[in-house]
Chains A and B, each alone.
Chain A
Amino acid sequence: MADRDNSSNNAMEKQYIVFEIESEMYGISVKNSESIERMTLITRVPDSSDYVLGIINLRGDILPVLSLRRRIGLEPKEYDPDTRVLVFDSESYRVGLVVDKVVGIVNIPELGIQPAKNVLADKESFFIESVYNSNDSVIMLLNMDIILNVDHSNIAKEKRDVTVI
Chain B
Amino acid sequence: MNVTEYLELFIEESKEQLQRLNQYLLEIESSPDNINSINEIFRVAHTLKGMAGTMGFKSISSLTHSMENTLDSIKSQKLKPAKNVTDLLFQCLDALESLLEKIMNTGSDNGIDIDLLISSLNSLSGDTSGQKKPLTIQERQNELSFDIYQVNIIEQGIEKGFIPYIIKVQLSKGCLLKSARAYVVFKAIESLGDMISSNPSVQDIEQEKFDLNFSVVIISRADRDVIFNKVSNISEVDKIEIERITVDDLLDAKNLKQGAINAETTTEASDLLSGKSTGIITRLGKSIRVDTERLDHLMNLVSELIIIKNRIQGTGSNNDMRVFTETVEYLGRVTTDIHDAVMKVRMVQVETVFNRFPRVVRDLAISTGKEVKLNIYGAGTELDRIIADEIGESLIHLIRNAIDHGLESTSERTAAGKSKTGNVDLMAYHDGNNVVLVVSDDGKGIEINKILKQALSKGLVNEDGISKLSEREIMNYLFDPRISTAGEVSNISGRGVGMDVVKSKVESLGGIIEIETTKGKGTKFIIRLPLTLSIIQALVVKVSQEYFAIPLNSIREILNLNTSAVKQLRNQEAVNYRDALISLVRLDKRLNTILAGESDKQNGSVTLVILSKDEKLFAVKVDELIGQQEIVIKSLGKYLSGIKVLAGATILGDGRVVPILDINHLI
Measured CB to CB, the residues of A under 8 A from B are 41, 43-48, 52, 54-57, 60-64, 92-95, 148, 152-153
Contacts and interface: CB of A to CB of B under 8 A. Distances in A.
A48 B643 contact: yes
A62 B640 CA distance: 11
Contacts of B547: 43
Q: Which of B634, B640, B642 has the most CB of A within 10 A?
A: B640
A152 B646 CA distance: 14
A93 B645 contact: no
Given A41-B656, A44-B594, A92 B638 contact: yes
Given A46-B591, A46-B659, A48-B643, 16 more contacts: A41-B657, A43-B547, A43-B649, A43-B659, A45-B646, A46-B646, A47-B645, A55-B640, A57-B655, A57-B656, A60-B651, A62-B636, A64-B639, A64-B640, A94-B638, A148-B639
Contacts of A52: 640
Interface of B: 546-547, 590-594, 634-640, 642-646, 648-649, 651, 655-659
Q: Which 5 A-B pairs give the minimum distances between C-beta atoms?
A: A46-B591, A43-B657, A93-B639, A62-B634, A64-B639
B637 A62 contact: yes
A103 B635 CA distance: 32
Contacts of B659: 43, 45-46, 55
A60 B650 CA distance: 9
A95 B637 CA distance: 8
Nearest to A88: B639
A34 B649 CA distance: 22
A141 to B, nearest CB: 21
A41 to B, nearest CB: 7
Contacts of A44: 546, 593-594
Contacts of B590: 46
Contact of B643 (A41, A46, A56, A60): A46
Given A44-B546, A45-B646, A47-B645, A55 B657 contact: yes
Contact of B636 (A55, A57, A153): A55
A93 B642 CA distance: 13
Contacts of B546: 43-44
A45 B640 contact: yes
Contacts of B643: 45-48, 152
A147 to B, nearest CB: 11
A79 B547 CA distance: 23
A143 B640 CA distance: 19
A17 to B, nearest CB: 19
Contacts of B640: 45, 48, 52, 55, 64
Nearest to A66: B639
A46 B657 CA distance: 14
A57 B657 contact: yes
A73 to B, nearest CB: 20
Contacts of B644: 47
B494 to A, nearest CB: 44
Contacts of A62: 634-637, 648-649, 651, 657
Contacts of A153: 642
B644 to A, nearest CB: 7
B615 to A, nearest CB: 25
30 contacts: A41-B656, A43-B546, A43-B659, A45-B640, A46-B590, A46-B643, A46-B646, A47-B592, A48-B640, A48-B643, A54-B657, A55-B636, A55-B640, A55-B657, A55-B659, A56-B657, A57-B655, A57-B657, A60-B651, A62-B634, A62-B649, A62-B651, A64-B640, A93-B637, A93-B638, A93-B639, A94-B639, A152-B642, A152-B643, A153-B642
Contacts of B636: 45, 55, 62, 64
Given A43-B656, A43-B657, A55 B649 contact: yes
Contact of B651 (A54, A57, A152): A57
A46 B645 contact: yes
A148 B656 CA distance: 26
B256 to A, nearest CB: 33
Contact of B639 (A56, A60, A95): A95
A61 B649 CA distance: 10
